[in-house]
Amino acid sequence: MRKLERAKKDGRRFLNPVTTKVGGFSIMMKVLPLYLRNREDREPKRALGPFQTDKQLYDKAPESGLRVTWFGHSSELVEIDGVTVLIDPVWDERAAPVSFMGPKRFFAPTLPLDELPALDAVLISHDHYDHLGKRTVQKLAKMRPELRWVCPLSVAKELHGFGVPAGRVTELDWTQETVVRGQCGEELLVTAVPGRHFSGRSLSNRFETLWTGYVLAGGRHKIYFGADSGFWDGFAAIGEAYGPFDLTMLEIGAFHELWRDIHLGPDGAVEAYEALGGEERAGVLMPIHWGLFNLALHGWRQPIEHISEVAAEKRLKMFVPEPGQPTEFWPGQEVRNSWWRKSF
């Protein structure tokens, strides 16, 4: 069994836990012809939704103790055992460095930022544009200066640059943990765990900030948020060290064989879920990192359609809520909202 360790560096650059290839010029030359020949429906032919979040639902705590609102891609609100955290918030129009070009949202935010319920912390997995929205952070920092932020090593500087006050950010190395307290004193243990990915908001600063997944352990429930990662043998170690989990969130979109080292895709997500321990230790599988941005060559529905087929074959339980719908989690029970099939 692989031992989970703190992140290592080569000079200014953080290293992956195993040897990993990240796309450079040679990969770009292979990908470009594929984009030119591609005929997949990479974006919806018409606007999706509108999806709307009923903010009044947040006035009552979840009866089960665990409720998740998935806002698309990897952005979600998790209410777990009295603690409320927002993960990888991107309310920005585009997952890009500029506001006038780049991958554009398939549907509008389901809830204005200023209508979010009281938050106990915001968790950031890494600094890529589809996980760390600059304008989103700027607005949250201005509206809620007292808000606590948790992020991987070296990301605090970026958050401060977006307006997050000094002293409000906790940086974590892999295997480090911190406690987030709820409004009534409840405690959530947040642990950063290794992943196989990379970071950087430009080609010139790749790997200079860390990337991470998170384990969220409340009084009754435990979640694994896998963030972005290619498959590696550390998934088994994470399941053994931190499981069992009630809910396991793994990425399925923005995948291609050329970058399988840094993204799971549907088949990789199932492989990772099984390595984590399957239903016995990984609980119910929640696909994330799909349905909001055009970031790859595949059709926009392909990841969720494919993993749904695999899950049916393998009889895997999945948690797939409608975007923006606060959805309670009950142990062992599935949620299968096929909203994307209505979007033609």
Location of structure tokens 């836990």? 17
Give the pLDDT of residue 26. Answer: 56
DSSP, residue by residue, 314-336: HT--BEEPPTT--EE--TT--EE
Quick one: pLDDT at residue 182? Answer: 97
- Give the pLDDT confidence score for residue 197 in this predicted structure: 97
Residue 136's contacts (CB-CB under 8 Å, 6 or more residues apart) are 89, 90, 91, 92, 113
Domains of the chain: 41-342 (3.60.15.10)
* pLDDT tens per residue, range 177-235: 999 999 999 999 999 999 999 999 998 899 999 999 999 999 999 999 999 999 999 99
- CA pair distance 110, 88, nearest whole angstrom: 15
32 pLDDT band, cuts 50/70/90, is low
Can you give the pTM of this predicted structure? Answer: 0.95
What is the DSSP track for 250-279?
EE-SS--GGGTTT--HHHHHHHHHHHHTHH
Residue keyed to tokens 């195993």: 18
How far, in Å, CA of 131 to CA of 89, rounded?
6
CB 251 within 8 A of CB 72: no
What's the average model confidence in pLDDT over 255-266?
90
Q: Which amino acid is at 187?
A: E
The two beta strands, 75-80 and 247-251, are unpaired
Q: Containing H/E element for 286?
A: strand 284-288
Confidence class for position 2, pLDDT limits 50, 70, 90 = confident
pLDDT of residue 29: 56
CB burial of residue 12 (10 Å; 0-12, 13-18, 19+): exposed
> 122 and 138 in contact (C-beta within 8 Å)?
no
State which amino acid sits at residue 80.
I
Examine the pLDDT at 344 and tell me if it is beyond 70: no
Segment 104-109 shows an average pLDDT of 96
Residues 126 and 132: beta-carbon distance below 8 Å: yes
Q: Which two tokens stand for residue 92?
A: 């920005």
Cross-strand partners of 72: 75
Average pLDDT score over residue span 269-281: 97
Mean pLDDT on 99-109: 94
- pLDDT averaged over every residue in the chain: 94
Give the residue among 281, 324, 287, 284 at the shortest CA–CA distance from 303.
287
pLDDT tens track for 58-80: 999 999 999 999 999 999 999 99
